Chains A and B, each alone.
Chain A
Amino acid sequence: MHSDSLPVTLQATLIQRHKKYGRGIWLAVGLGLLLVAIGLQAGSFAQSSNDMWQMLLKIFTSENLTQQQTIHWYIFSELRAPRMVMAIFVGALLAMSGCAMQGLVRNPLADPGLIGISAGAAAAAATTLALINHYPELELAGQYLIAASAFVGALLAVWVVLLVAKTPMGTAISSLILAGVAVNALAGTHIGAISYLANDDALRQITYWTMGSLGGINWQKVLFVGALGVPAIGVFLHLRKALNMLALGENEAQCMGLAVTKYKRLTLWLVAFSVALATALCGIIGFIGLVVPHIARSLFGADHRYLMPACGVLGAVLMLLADIISRALFPPLEIPIGIVTSAVGAPFFLYLLAKGKGQSSYV
């Protein structure tokens, strides 16, 4: 074979693969939009497509709505639309966090919960919930206090884990995970103690919070998550090259020109920030960060250039799906979304483990 013909074929293969992955991602985006359309109609207050289009047309032409339509419009624009947008943000943030975490510790079984982020958030939120129940004068700022404390709790947990895992040579991944186990246990004990001491009302709220929910999401919260989440997603995309290099090991990455310590810290804090943000507003939503990168890896390969955006889109899609299931399964009852993601995610994860036994490749 003439040596000039080879680059042409490889170039063609690479372009083809690039196009294929690009199409895959757009397909997933399309699926997400379809789910948004379904999600806007689904729920305890069913709305037929026809009614919805008529209503939208009236809004568009600024005609007056009937009384029935006014209620519809309220449910549509103030309850369902914000929670759909929230589902997209939270799903993308959690899945990208999982992807970054797995890349950082070079283990496809890792999850942001591994280093105690969710547990820290839950412990802090439980404490605040119990306090609010004890001091009713705090009730007014209740929601904000819970979100803020969950956020601080998550970052605090990561800070402790990082402090323990710090060595003169940099952060040791193995100590990071072990410290995460310890922080998880500690936070669990803390929640246990508070649940034991709390009254029934507070206990119920704590339990509900740790199951995760998209209920009570308004545009204000969406705006808040959007303003902080969009830059975070941007940084996740920026990390793609670094995560690719880190997959070869830290020494190798450093020799290839990556400021390993800096990127490790950036990744950890970004994951902590994103998960804290999602958890603070929606409670603990498990398995998205673990399962989505797996699915994405089996569809798009391990190269983070494609994997990271794919995780973002698929995370949003899965979260939209979970939200629809949680609302549509037993209307008017709404199952906490964390239960749905875990109920789907945990068996799927077992299946992945069983399937992956003895075989190391996901491509």
Chain B
Amino acid sequence: MFEMKDIFLNYREKNILQDISLSVASGDFLTVIGENGCGKSTLLRCVAGLHQQVSGSIRFQQKCLKQWPIKALAKERSFVAQSNQVHFAFLTENLLKLARADQLETEQQSTLLICQLAEKLNISHLFGRDVRSLSGGERQRVFIAKALLQLLPNNHQKSSDYVYENKLLLLDEPTSALDFRFQKAMMDLVQEFCQQGLAVVCVSHDMNLVLPYATQVLMLAQGRCLAKGQAKDVITIENLSDCFGVTPKLIPQTGSVPYITH
């Protein structure tokens, strides 16, 4: 569904990304890991179509990414950035409403959608509050809700079936501000949507949290792909020490990815 081939990105005569290829199918959960400043977020921005000067081929739903009309693309892929700033006093529900602004639906329909999803993400109690007054974690949940709302088709009716077939959600450190409870809850929820066809590309440093959910892992080092594949193949002592420059310990887990520790 999403395919990237031989991606290069130069900025100010520096190679930010070199020779990256990846492909994501409907229902996939791709995790991108790597050290600070290795190009993870830049790669995610390329996937989102925010970098125009990237070379190589990027195809989304059988169409070149650059040829997507910007409005149509917004209904198919959404992006949760690392830092979410709001510059004016927006109320939570108005912020969420923005995600449905381009949909052809009645106020009632969009309100219903917003409320259903807000219940699911446990943010209904934040309605009526200025987004800027929310805590980091609350705001992160609101922005993830906004990204999910943006992808919902407008014929969606029942909360039991979220149709995310062929939609792409990009998450940059989605759990960085979340507490112990919501980290797990958020990942479970995303996985649930993956089962409805949502494809996810997620950048994260919290490997122990995210890797068990990943169907694919991409390990980046200095803008290059160091390893790619299933978590059990990528997460090895050699790869991790190559990538981060320190040798970790791996504690095997039954039926899951090994636990990484110092």
- Chain A contact residues, CB within 8 Å of chain B: 3, 6-7, 10-11, 13-14, 103, 106-108, 168, 241, 244-245, 247-249, 251-252, 254-259, 297, 301-303, 360-363
Contact = CB atoms under 8 A, between A and B. Distances in A.
Contact of A14 (B77, B95, B111, B150): B111
Interface string B24-52: 00000000000000000000010010100
A107 B88 CA distance: 8
Interface in B162-207: none
Given A107-B87, A303-B90, A361-B133, A257 B71 contact: yes
B93 A10 contact: yes
A249 B77 CA distance: 18
B259 interface: no
14 contacts: A3-B115, A6-B115, A10-B111, A10-B115, A10-B127, A244-B90, A244-B101, A245-B98, A247-B86, A256-B99, A257-B70, A360-B89, A361-B133, A363-B89
Given A13-B128, A248-B95, 11 more contacts: A3-B115, A3-B116, A14-B107, A106-B88, A107-B87, A245-B101, A248-B85, A248-B86, A256-B150, A301-B91, A361-B89
Tell me the interface secondary structure of chain A in the complex: loop
A258 B74 CA distance: 8
A249 B99 CA distance: 14
Q: Which of A103, A241, A248 has the most CB of B within 10 A?
A: A248
Contact of B101 (A106, A241, A249, A302): A241
Interface string B129-171: 0101100000000000000001000000001000000000000
Contacts of B116: 3, 7
B85 A259 contact: no
Contacts of A248: 84-87, 95, 98
Interface string B104-120: 00011001101110010
Given A3-B115, A14-B107, A254-B50, A108 B74 contact: no
Sort chain B's interface into a size bin.
35 or more
A89 to B, nearest CB: 27
Contacts of B216: none
B2 interface: no
B94 interface: yes
Given A6-B119, A7-B115, A10-B115, A361 B85 contact: no
Contacts of A303: 90-91, 94
Contact of B88 (A11, A13, A259, A302): A302
A362 B116 CA distance: 29
Contacts, number: 104
B142 to A, nearest CB: 11
B55 interface: no
Contacts of A241: 98, 101
B102 A362 contact: no
B53 interface: yes
B87 A257 contact: no
A247 to B, nearest CB: 5
Given A3-B119, A7-B111, A255 B48 contact: yes
A259 B102 CA distance: 13
10 closest residue pairs by CB, A with B? A257-B74, A302-B88, A106-B87, A7-B115, A255-B79, A257-B71, A363-B89, A302-B89, A7-B112, A6-B115
Contacts of A252: 79, 81, 84
Contacts of B79: 251-252, 255
A257 B48 CA distance: 11
A299 to B, nearest CB: 12
Contact of A255 (B78, B88, B132): B78
